[in-house]
Amino acid sequence: MRITKTIEEVREAVAGARGAGKPIVLVPTMGFLHDGHLSLVRHGRARALEAGGADAPGACVVMSIFVNPTQFGPGEDFGEYPRDLDRDAALAREHGVDLLFAPAVREMYPEGFRTEVRVTELTEPMCGAGRPGHFDGVALVVTKLLNIVRPDWSVFGRKDAQQALVIRRLAADLDLPGRILVAPTVRDDDGVALSSRNAYLSAEEREAARALSRGLRAAARAWDGGERSREALLALVNAEIDREPLVRPEYVDLRSRDTLRDWNGEGPALLAVAARVGRTRLIDNVFLGGEEEQAGPVDRPGRTSGSA
Amino acid sequence: MRITKTIEEVREAVAGARGAGKPIVLVPTMGFLHDGHLSLVRHGRARALEAGGADAPGACVVMSIFVNPTQFGPGEDFGEYPRDLDRDAALAREHGVDLLFAPAVREMYPEGFRTEVRVTELTEPMCGAGRPGHFDGVALVVTKLLNIVRPDWSVFGRKDAQQALVIRRLAADLDLPGRILVAPTVRDDDGVALSSRNAYLSAEEREAARALSRGLRAAARAWDGGERSREALLALVNAEIDREPLVRPEYVDLRSRDTLRDWNGEGPALLAVAARVGRTRLIDNVFLGGEEEQAGPVDRPGRTSGSA
C-alpha cells in the first residue's frame, strides 16, 4: 500500500492503476477507521470486481483520510476529532487498500481558495438544520476528491443517510466521475452504529447511546407489523430516548427516503435520529419499506452479528 | 464533424478520441459564433498540438453551444439571446471543430437539479456587482462541461477577463480536468470587441459602441507613456464614453489584473468597462503592464488587423 500526501502524487498513482486496466474504487473517510469504513472497502471492491468480470484485473482501492475543516461548524469538534494515521494506515493495509491519500488541509485548500459548492433542499432538514454549512463542506470536499481520483466507484456509508443522498444529487448534478455506492450501516454487538465519534463516549454514555438503535429497531418492528402512523413511529423512538437522561435528542424525524420531504404515508421512509450523548453528537437511521431494509445488525466477517 | 445533444453521446465520442490518443480541447460557447469563438478553436488546437509534439495525433476539438439559463438574471436577455445552430454548425465544421455538443436545457439541468457552485471575492466587483448570480451560473455550467468532456485544455476569451479569472480559480479549487487557456480578444476593424450581442446594435449604436475600445486604447497609450494615476487613466475612458449619449456606463474600473482587488499602483492592471449601448450591454477591457498586453487589434487570418 502506498501513502500519498499530494494531489499530484495520488493522481499519478491512480493513473498508473487505470493504465493497467484496473477499476478505481474510492473510499472517502475522515480516518480513525472502524469496521464501518473497512466494510466500505470490501463493498466497493466486491462491486467493482463483479462489474469487471472474473478475468478483469483486481480493483485499485483508494482510501482518502482527511478531516475536512469545511464541514465542521464553529464550536464543533474539528480540533478534537480523533486522528491516528499510523493506526489507520496499518488497518487500511491489512484490509487491502492499495493507495492511501492523506492530504494536509493546505493541500486541499491552499491560500487563495475561493470556491463553494452547495446542494439545496436535501440539505435543509435534519442534520442540515442542526449543522448549518455542514453539507456545503461535504459537497465541496467530495467534489474535489472525485475530481482528483476520478474513481469508477465511490463508496459511502448509509449511517450518514442524508449525506449519501446529498452526494448522489451532487454527483449527478455536477457530472462527477463514477458511480456512488452506499453501503449498509455496520453496528457493534450492542446495536450502536459504528462511528469514529463513539471514541468520545464514557462507559455510561455508551450504555445510554444504545437507546438510539433500540428506538429505531422498535419502530422498524412496528412498521413490519403494519404500523404506518407517523406519530406512533416517532413516539417509539422518543420513548427509548426519553428513558435515558444522558441522551438529548436533536431531531427524530420521518422523511421520504429518496427526497427527504416529510413522509406522506407513500413509499419508503427514512427514520432518522440525531442526539447528544453527553457532549458527543451521534446519528443513526433505518429505512422503512423499500428494497434495502437495513434496520437490524449487519453481518461482518469475523464477528457474530447480533442485537443488544 | 459530429453533433451530439446528450451528455452520454458526447462522453462516448470524446472517449473514442481519447482512446485514439488525441488530446481533447474544449471550447465552451453560447453559440451565434463569431471570429472570436473561432479564434478560440485555433488557439486551443495550436496549443494542444504544440504540447503533443509533431508525431502526436491531431487534437479533438469539442465545441459546446449552450445558452446557459443559470447565468442570466431575471430581466436579462436569455430569451432573446441570438441562436442559430445551423449556421453555427456550418461555421464550426468549416473551422475544424470535431465534435459539437449542443444540449437542451433539460439535459443539463434535469428535473430535480439542486446544486450550486460559487466563486467568492473575484465575483464581487465589476460584472459581479451589476449581474448578481451571473458568475454562479458560469461556475456551475463550466464545472459541468469540464466534468462531462474532461478536456486536456479548455479555451476562454479574454474579452470576458473577469470570467476567465473566475474560471481559473474554479478549476484550480475544484480540481477540474485539464488546463484553462485564455485567448486574446478579437476585434472588428472598427475596434469593437467581437460579441454575439453586437447583433443587437443598430448602425447608430454600433458607431457609438466604438467609444469603449477607443477609451481603453487611449488609456493604454497613456499607460505606455508612463501614466500611472488611477484617476487619469479612468478619466481617459470616461471622456470617450461621455462623448456618446447612446452609451451609459455601468462601470469603468481599474483593478489588479490577477486578483481584481483595487489596483494599488503595483503590478499589472486590468482596465475594464461595461456599458449599455442603447439596450445592449457590452463589455471590454485591456491589460496594462505585464506580459500579455492585448490592447490593440489582434491579427486574424483572412482579415487585415487595424484599429479604427
Q: What is the rounded CA–CA span in Å between residue B38 and residue A248?
A: 63
Alpha-carbon distance B141 to nearest alpha carbon in chain A (angstroms): 9
What dihedral angle (degrees, nearest 10) is formed by the CA atoms of A161, A165, A170, A171?
A: 90
**Quick one: pLDDT at residue B300?**
33
Reported as a single tens digit per residue, the pLDDT across B211-257 is 999 999 999 999 999 999 999 999 999 999 999 999 999 999 999 99
**Quick one: pLDDT at residue A291?**
62
Q: How high is the ipTM of this complex?
A: 0.93
**Quick one: pLDDT at residue A299?**
33
Q: What is the rounded CA–CA span in Å between residue A23 and residue A59?
A: 5
Reported as a single tens digit per residue, the pLDDT across B128-175 is 999 999 999 999 999 999 999 999 999 999 999 999 999 999 999 999
Q: Which among A34, A37, A95, A134 is annotated as catalytic?
A: A37
By DSSP bridging, strand A115-119 and strand B115-119 are: antiparallel
Interface check B120 vs A, CB under 8 A? yes
Structural domains present in chain A: 2-183 (3.40.50.620), 196-288 (3.30.1300.10)
Among the listed residues A126, A41, A97, A31, the one whose alpha carbon sits nearest the alpha carbon of residue A301 = A41
Alpha-carbon distance A44 to nearest alpha carbon in chain B (angstroms): 22
A37 vs A164, A194, A195, B35, B73, CA distance in Å? 14, 9, 9, 54, 44
Reported as a single tens digit per residue, the pLDDT across B7-65 is 999 999 999 999 999 999 999 999 999 999 999 999 999 999 888 877 778 899 999 99
Section A193-200 average pLDDT = 97
Angle at alpha carbon of residue B38, lines to B35 and B42, rounded to 5°: 130
Is A120 within 8 Å of B112 when comparing Cβ atoms?
Answer: no
Section A185-206 average pLDDT = 97
Interface check B133 vs A, CB under 8 A? no
**E strands, B15-166, where?**
24-29, 60-65, 99-101, 115-119, 153-157
**Quick one: pLDDT at residue B301?**
34
Proportion of chain A above pLDDT 70, given as a percent: 94
Chain B contact probe: residue of A147, A166, A259 with most B CBs at under 10 A: A147
**Quick one: pLDDT at residue B291?**
61
Reported as a single tens digit per residue, the pLDDT across A269-302 is 999 999 999 999 999 999 999 765 443 333 333 3
Section B107-111 average pLDDT = 98
Interface check A112 vs B, CB under 8 A? yes
Assess whether pLDDT exceeds 80 at residue B73.
Answer: yes
Interface check B175 vs A, CB under 8 A? yes
Taking a contact as any Cβ pair under 8 Å apart, which residues of chain A between 48 and 77 contact chain B?
none
Q: What is the rounded CA–CA span in Å between residue A299 and residue A186?
A: 8
Q: What is the rounded CA–CA span in Å between residue B252 and residue A13?
A: 48
Is A175 within 8 Å of B144 when comparing Cβ atoms?
Answer: yes
Section A207-233 average pLDDT = 98
Q: What is the rounded CA–CA span in Å between residue A27 and residue A43?
A: 10
**E strands, chain B, where?**
2-4, 24-29, 60-65, 99-101, 115-119, 153-157, 179-183, 247-256, 269-277, 280-288
**Quick one: pLDDT at residue B296?**
33
**Quick one: pLDDT at residue A14?**
98
- Give contacts of B148 with chain A, Cβ < 8 Å: 175
Is A169 within 8 Å of B114 when comparing Cβ atoms?
Answer: yes
Which residues 6+ apart lie within 8 Å of B143 measured at CB?
A143, A174, B117, B170, B174, B176
**Quick one: pLDDT at residue B297?**
33
**Lowest-confidence range among A244-248, B56-60, B107-111, B227-231?**
B56-60
- Give contacts of A177 with chain B, Cβ < 8 Å: 147
Q: Mean pLDDT in chain A? A: 93
Whole-model pTM?
A: 0.93
